[in-house]
Amino acid sequence: MDPLKALADAERKPYWLDSPAKPEPLPRLFGETTADLAVVGGGFSGLWTALMAKERDPSLDVVLLEGRRVGWAASGRNGGFAMATLTHGIANGLERWPEEIATLERLGTANLDELGRTVADHGIDCGYERTGELHVATEPWQLAEMNESVEIARELGARFDVLDRERIRAEVNSPTYIGGHWERDGCAMLDPARLAWGLRQACLSLGVRIHERTPVRHVRDTPASMDLLTPHGTVRAGKVALGTGVFQPLLRRLRHLLVPVYDYALMTEPLSAERLASVGWRNRQGVGDAANQFHYYRLTADNRILWGGYDAVYYNGGKIKPEYEQRDETFVKLAEHFYTTFPQLSEVRFTHRWGGVIDTCSRFSAFYGLSHGGRLAYAAGYTGLGVGATRFGANVMLDLLGGEPTERTGLRMVREKPLPFPPEPVRSAGIQMTRWSIAQADLHQGRRNLWLRTLDRMGLGFDS
């Protein structure tokens, strides 16, 4: 089908958020209130922090402030891949923290296990399926690079099945696949918006006070409290956990460590039984290809296909604007790639198209810290893999605020910060050069040019 025709009726909104299950907004904050812990941000970071703070100490008075609606941003727009990795994959973790990689893998797997238990214990209806992820190669150079990491992954306890061309196509039938791996335990598929709404309800059931449509404009440090100033009120809190992602940071230091990158996705109409059978996909894994500019895709509960990735767009100057959430050039490109991957679905149309901004840092994985004399903790920089890792980050923030050393806070990965991005306009020039170089690498058997090799040596990165 012509991509323009296939996209003609697609709604310009995130599929997950376009749901009758979306709860009514909670009241804004009016006036002054106090709390033991104030959580800023109603995405996964903030929701997990508030929930686990109450689970650790039910007597704690916790308030959560969200500037718009719970789950409206990255937490409700992503692909719904809850990954075990805390380091954006074993290879990235091994390169940066080789002495800690076994511990980081163990903690990441435990974190995903605990996420699944929370979903079950609180009865959160988010389509949780621990089906794992297929890592597929479409070019020989990709397969060679992938195979290098399998032995290490297995030594670290990961269950990886190596699949040749026939076996990978028996799992998901695409003529583009030449081989791949099935990471059995490292990924769960879910509906991210329903997870956010379920965590919201779990927080409320434990006594967390949540105020939506209540943006925090300023943090004021006083001898007696941390004061969070909002348009119509103030929270005076003993401690603060900051989970605002890439949006205008309340801490100046974060502006140099984060950049906003836009990611885009499409959702198909539900597949008929015949169409689904032509693809196979009986084990319902998430799928990601191994190119530098990679695609990620998965089935929904009603057998639609979410198809996203490839273009990671940085708008010069680091601006965040609602109009950037729609990019027809990328949507057409994604549709073309979908039909190339699944020619048997050439008559399938798309019902939704959307984009959203993610918080990217130079090391690809989250970083953590304290400010204001240890009374404010933050976690940011998940670079697109925050569905699972935000739960770990929330535990790190609570550990840091508690002041007692833990296994988590002792990690070098937690204690260190990523390298800062340069100021504008050098930042924009460097990122655009990196995007061009990544695309060129995909066209030339993965060979990285001098620019990318220099960034590798410096420990800097920009992921597609």
The helix or strand, by DSSP H or E, that contains position 396, with its residue range, turns out to be helix 386-402
**In the prediction, which pLDDT does 36 show?**
98
**In the prediction, which pLDDT does 177 show?**
98
For residue 258, the SS3 value is coil
The full DSSP string for 289-317 is: E-SSS-EEEEE-TTS-EEEEEEEEE--TT
Cα 198 to Cα 123: distance, rounded to the nearest angstrom: 8
Cα 49 to Cα 52: distance, rounded to the nearest angstrom: 5
Cα 312 to Cα 296: distance, rounded to the nearest angstrom: 12
Determine how β-strand 233-242 pairs with β-strand 305-313. Answer: unpaired
Three-class HEC string of 139-197: CHHHHHHHHHHHHHHHHCCCCEEEECHHHHHHHECCCCCCEEEEECCCEEECCHHHHHH
**In the prediction, which pLDDT does 252 show?**
86
418 preceded by cis ω (within 30°)? no
For residue 1, the SS3 value is coil
Q: What is the pTM of this model?
A: 0.95
Cα 290 to Cα 309: distance, rounded to the nearest angstrom: 12
Cα 115 to Cα 197: distance, rounded to the nearest angstrom: 15
Other beta carbons less than 10 A from residue 110's beta carbon: 12
Q: What is the mean pLDDT of each run of 10 residues along the chain (464 residues)?
A: 94 97 97 98 98 98 98 97 96 94 97 98 98 96 82 87 96 97 96 98 98 97 96 98 89 92 98 98 97 94 97 93 97 98 98 97 96 97 96 98 97 97 90 85 81 77 53
For residue 328, the SS3 value is helix
Residue 58 in tokens: 């039910």
Going from the C-alpha of 281 to that of each of 179, 289, 347, 348, the distances in angstroms are 15, 15, 19, 17
Cα 449 to Cα 453: distance, rounded to the nearest angstrom: 6
Cα angle for residues 362, 415, 375 (degrees, 5° grid): 110
**In the prediction, which pLDDT does 462 show?**
54
**Integer Rg of the chain from CA:** 22
Beta bridge partners of 240: 38, 376
In terms of Cβ atoms closer than 10 Å to its own Cβ (0-12, 13-18, 19+), residue 407 is exposed
**In the prediction, which pLDDT does 461 show?**
59
